[in-house]
Amino acid sequence: MTMFTGQWADLPLDEVAKFIAECGYDGLELACWGDHFDVHATASELNKKWEQLKNCNLECFSISNHLVGQAVCDEIDERHKSILPEAVWGDGDPEGVRQRAAEEMKQTARAAKAFGVPVVNGFTGSSIWGKFYFFPPTPESVVDEGFKDFANRWIPILDEFEKNEVKFALEVHPAEIAYDIATAQRALEAVDFHPAFGFNFDPSHLLWQGINPTKFIDNFPDHIFHVHAKDVALRTDGERGILGSHLPFGDAGRGWEFRSVGRGDVDFDDIVRSLNRIGYDGPLSVEWEDEGMDRRQGAMESLDYLQSMDVVPPSGAAFDAAFSEQA
């Protein structure tokens, strides 16, 4: 069990690591923002980062660079300035931002190798997310061009990942090139099933869309490189819908809201069983988001809840095999 530090990056890593270790987690999934992980760090600085973790008896199995990855394919506007490093934003010219973001993701692959982690999680961005509703009428050629744009921009990045023996796990998520099962399949096809490309499975982003998360696991058993444990509460009641109503997270008028793990509608028992069935042996990494409670309380109870769901895979013998044994 690990904790993703993306929602803790306002705190120094030393403080986060100490607290997460006290909770009983095995490790951290380090975000590439705040002081948690610098993709341009020297070898000496990376060694010191490991010392920070080891001093708290914590491991690291992946790093995440969602914010920069988002800019690789996006239609860039002023919103991106607030999430990007100054060097990537530069003068704000959209194509320049996209190209600098692509180079930063290549550097992330090299940094992951140098740090000794096998997976980088993140976003890809999308030039066609804003066209998911086909009005004005959207020709299929526009969608085709969006996936071609994704492939053209990401295949060189994925080649760098493969060269460094690191996997890139796209978090299937609204605003990305893949946000559900059908678009995840199409994204795989667009990059010709590149061996460095797969998914960071997060059930919360599927459930509020009306998708059974275990169906995603069943469809992509060989392409799930990492797993986020995040919960979501559905509040669609005939008045509140799934599109958010242009309301911020935490507003009572929304039709769904992220919740601390165990306090929403995600069936984690079913998910853990499905992950066991496909042989997933990576971490369950808590991505803690809940506007209605303290994150420290949430971190502690999320671990307790997931540990109660940690089903040991079967030995191979059916549960009723003993019935045939003679007394």
pLDDT digits (tens, 9 = 90+) for 58-106: 999 999 999 999 999 999 999 999 999 999 999 999 999 999 999 999 9
Phi, psi values for residue 259, rounded to 5°: -135, 155
Q: At what angle do helices 94-115 and 66-73 cross, to 10 degrees?
A: 140
CA dist list (Å): 34 to 13, 31, 91: 8, 8, 22
Q: What letter represents residue 180's amino acid?
A: D
**pLDDT digit string, tens, across residues 31-64:** 999 999 999 999 999 999 999 999 999 999 999 9
Question: CA torsion 78→240→251→71, rounded to 10°?
Answer: -20
> Domain ranges in the chain?
2-324
CATH class of 2-324: alpha beta
Query: pLDDT band for position 321 (50/70/90)?
Result: low
Q: pLDDT at position 279, please?
A: 95
Mean pLDDT, all residues of the chain: 95
Listed residue (263, 261, 264, 265) closest to 284, CA to CA: 261
Which residue in the block uniquely carries the two structure tokens 């994150």?
A: 295
Give the global pTM: 0.95
Write the DSSP string, 281-302: -S-EEE----TTS-HHHHHHHH
